[in-house]
Structure 1
Amino acid sequence: MRGAPALFGLLALALWEAAVRLLGVPVYVLPGPIAIVQAFAADPVGLLESLTSTLFVTFAALAMAAVLGGAMAVAMSASRLAQAAIQPWAVALQVTPLPAIAPLIIIWVGQPFLALVVCATIVAFFPLFASTASGLASAPPELNDLFHLYGARRWQTMRLLRLPAALPYFLTGLRISGGLALVGAVVAELVAGSGGFASGLAYRILEASFRLEIPRMFAALVLLALAGILLNYGLGAIGQAILRRRGGV
């Protein structure tokens, strides 16, 4: 069963290669897997360096989203005033399309790397914030009453009851936000690349599309897809290990 995804992938690649060869599809319309591998082999260092740049932005944005999302969720859980102040703005930030505001952020921030991180953080922020807030509110009411009965202070209830209850939710949000941070980094890099800032794998995709180097563009897309899969599985494994160590799984 564990090998099923790999076998399915190999079968799909074989059918893809056979189809483009039998139908005579031009490489600039749809390259086959072999042409994509050859495009990667022609410049592996350049593509991998660009991928590394994109991943730096992704991980920096994920860290910022984790800190900001967790802190704001805790503040919102601790104070109704903070909830009334934070929640509408968090929702507004979530529904704002990144391509519409990314050019402004890049201009306002000025420093290219930091601007990309800010853009990716905006995309990754809400799942962490919403998941953590849900987790903080998920503590059993009877336990909350018990803490109150024994005279526990608000910060003690938060530290000993609500934060442990929120941990699985936070880790789930972290896994979701990991993929979104990568998407946000790619979108921001596409906008920055259109403005002449060459950085990241998204810029390589843009560059290859302008030059009609479609196999190279597909090679960059495959690298992004693989990075997203590894990021998702990696964050999931980290979350399971943390919960297992705490006795949550």
Structure 2
Amino acid sequence: MNRTVTNRLLPAAVMLGLLLAWELGVRWAGIPDYTLPAPSRIAQALAEHGASLVGSWWYTLKITFGALALACAGGVLIASAFALSPTLERALFPLAVVLQVTPLMAVAPLMLIYLDSTTAALLLCAWLSAFFPILSNTVIGLRAADPQLRDLFRLYRATPWQRLALLRVPSALPYFIAGLKVSGGLALIGAVSAEMVAGAAGRETGLASRILEASFRTETPKMFAALTLLVLTGVMIFAVFNAVSRAVLGRWHASESGRTD
């Protein structure tokens, strides 16, 4: 128990120490807010602009999780199709690689031209960022089933669907969750990057628009406040999926059952 408490308190102590050093350094050097605000000034900006920032945060969160849900559904379905048909995988997997390596900053302006809805364009761009890790990890997981168990399923003349549902899917679950942890952060990055390229303005916009607006007005504390919300959101997404990983895999898979923290 003491070791667990220590492992949890140590990162918090390091973060608090860094924030304290930041606060003291800014005050000691007399750095103005428009250059580098202190953490206390950022907290004040969060309180001052809380209403607009929370509304924009919710919009960014909806885009992020909407894109992540689409990436999960599409990635798992396509990976399952690849597992059932190697010919289909050889034909279509290069297309998935092309989507992965295409720079998002180059695609986002095209999406804004082809789609009437800015929200739809942002959702598609965020989906492009989150899709490939889930697809790739799930495909690898579906291939990672124990060869002896595969031989056993063949011996009992299991159908391809039975092998997929009863053997390959449990084998792929740890890989899928690992891809989910990566794609969660990528979906957030994709949503913010696409919105910055779009330069959207108005009420139905995310935190990226608040950052752009604050930069035009040289409101650096507000920029840092919006950035703080984005960072906390990314940490929250990772923490949620890390908890899901422990809950789902903790009792039977070595990646979680062997952890000592």
Same fold (TM over 0.5): yes
Q: Flag the 1:195–1:42 CA change in 2: closer, same or farther, 3 A.
A: closer
Q: Which of 85, 88, 100 is equivalent to 2:106?
A: 100
SS at match of 1:222: helix
Match of 1:11 in 2: 17
- Please tell me the residue identity of whatever aligns with 1:34: S
Deviation of 1:196 after TM superposition, in Å, equals 4.5
SS at match of 1:217: helix
- Unaligned ranges ≥5, structure 1: none
- Please tell me the residue identity of whatever aligns with 2:183: S
Q: Which of 77, 80, 87 is equivalent to 2:83?
A: 77
Deviation of 1:163 after TM superposition, in Å, equals 0.8
Deviation of 1:244 after TM superposition, in Å, equals 3.9
Deviation of 1:10 after TM superposition, in Å, equals 1.3
Match of 2:156 in 1: 150
Whether 1:199 and 2:231 are equivalent positions in the alignment is: no
- Please tell me the residue identity of whatever aligns with 1:14: L
Deviation of 1:124 after TM superposition, in Å, equals 0.3
**Maintained 8 Å contact 1:39/1:216:** yes
Deviations 1:17-54 (A, max 9, x none): 11112112221111111111111111111111110100
* Counterpart mapping for 1:34-45 below 5 A: 34-45=40-51
**Maintained 8 Å contact 1:116/1:188:** yes
Match of 1:61 in 2: 67
Equivalent-residue separation in structure 1 for 2:79 and 2:180 (angstroms) = 14
Deviation of 1:202 after TM superposition, in Å, equals 0.7
- Unaligned ranges ≥5, structure 2: 1-5
Deviations 1:33-82 (A, max 9, x none): 11111111111111111101000000000000001111111111111221
**Maintained 8 Å contact 2:201/2:209:** no
**Maintained 8 Å contact 1:76/1:82:** yes
Identical aligned residues as a percent? 49
Match of 2:229 in 1: 223
- Please tell me the residue identity of whatever aligns with 1:60: G
Whether 1:168 and 2:179 are equivalent positions in the alignment is: no
Deviation of 1:114 after TM superposition, in Å, equals 1.6
Match of 2:35 in 1: 29
Q: How many residues align?
A: 247
Deviations 1:181-232 (A, max 9, x none): 010111111122x254660011000110111000000000011001110110
Equivalent-residue separation in structure 2 for 1:177 and 1:214 (angstroms) = 29
TM-score between both structures, scaled by the size of structure 1: 0.95
Match of 2:240 in 1: 234
Match of 1:213 in 2: 219
